[in-house]
Structure 1
Amino acid sequence: MSDAEKGGFLTKMIGPKRRWRQYKARVKQLPENYRTAVEAIQRYLMHFAPTDGDSSASMFEDLADLFEQAAADGTPIRGIVGEDPAEFVEAFVRNYSEGGYVPTRARKQLTDAITRAAGEDTVEEGKTV
């Protein structure tokens, strides 16, 4: 993939760089557990192919809006994403694109990250995760 193709791919995934930087700055201002949840959702969203950069940028900006408001209201993370964070994200992304294939591993990583961000311990094979 040439540098031009990479640049086009990244713009398609995250939208215009200025909007991406603004989004990242907003996320950085969130309380740690909300930031952790948003970053996990962001990684998961990268598995979807947005229709265009503007849709993608709007999607990430709306995600930041949602978590900023939740943090301001004191809404717990599970109150935002529910018990199945992958289902939440897939429903969220349907508003912006047709979506794409999401590997099982990505679903597990998202679920585990949200569990940690929500302050919930999980036990796996005798280990606390």
Structure 2
Amino acid sequence: MSIQDIIEGKKQWRAHLARVKALPQDYRIVYKEMQRYLFKVGPIDLPDGPLLPGILDFFEEGVAGGKGVLELTGTDVAAFCDDLVKDSPTYADAYQKSLAGEPDTAER
């Protein structure tokens, strides 16, 4: 990874955070809790993958449609997050594979 890639990644992340700050407060709170939860249990490609920007797009559509955030996610936000990542490899999966001695886990 070059310096230019790191700088570009930081620019993209800052633009993402600016979009989050533009959300109404209830959406921001739920988004940050989802982000915290997903960083703990979520997929390996979370920082670079499409999941967080996809959630943000979904929330922006909800705001434009005049819906409350819990109308979109339901009251169990953790279950909503679990459904989003159910088919994605997680760090826990990679750890389990490494314990089982399966190849191709050291690169993750």
Superposition TM-score, scaled by structure 2 size: 0.66
Compared with structure 1, are the counterparts of its residues 36 and 49 closer, same or farther at alpha carbon in structure 2 (3 Å cutoff)?
closer
Question: What per-residue deviation string (whole Å, max 9, x for no partner) do you get for residues 41-83 of structure 1?
Answer: 111111135333432xx11111110111101111122211112
**CA shift at 1:30, angstroms?**
0.5
Q: What percent identity do the matched residue pairs reach?
A: 35
Larger Rg: 2
CA-based RMSD = 2.1
Given candidates 90, 102, 106, the residue that maps to 1:99 is 90
Letter in 2 for 1:80: L
Residue deviations 1:25-49 (CA, integer Å, cap 9, x gap): 1000001111111111111111135
Structure 2 residue runs of 5 or longer lacking an equivalent are 1-5, 93-108
Select 1:42's aligned residue among 29, 35, 40. 35
Counterpart contact for 2:41–2:91, Cα < 8 Å: yes
Counterpart of 2:89 in structure 1: which amino acid? Answer: E
Residues 23-42 of structure 1 aligned to structure 2 (within 5 Å): 23-42=16-35
1:115 corresponding residue in structure 2: none
Deviations 1:62-118 (CA, angstroms, capped at 9, x unpaired)? 1110111101111122211112111101111236x32355xxxxxxxxxxxxxxxxx
- Which residue of structure 1 lines up, in the alignment, with residue 64 of structure 2? 72
Residue 11 of structure 2 is aligned to residue 18 of structure 1: yes
Q: TM-score, normalised by structure 1?
A: 0.56
Contiguous gaps of at least 5 residues in structure 1:
1-10, 102-129
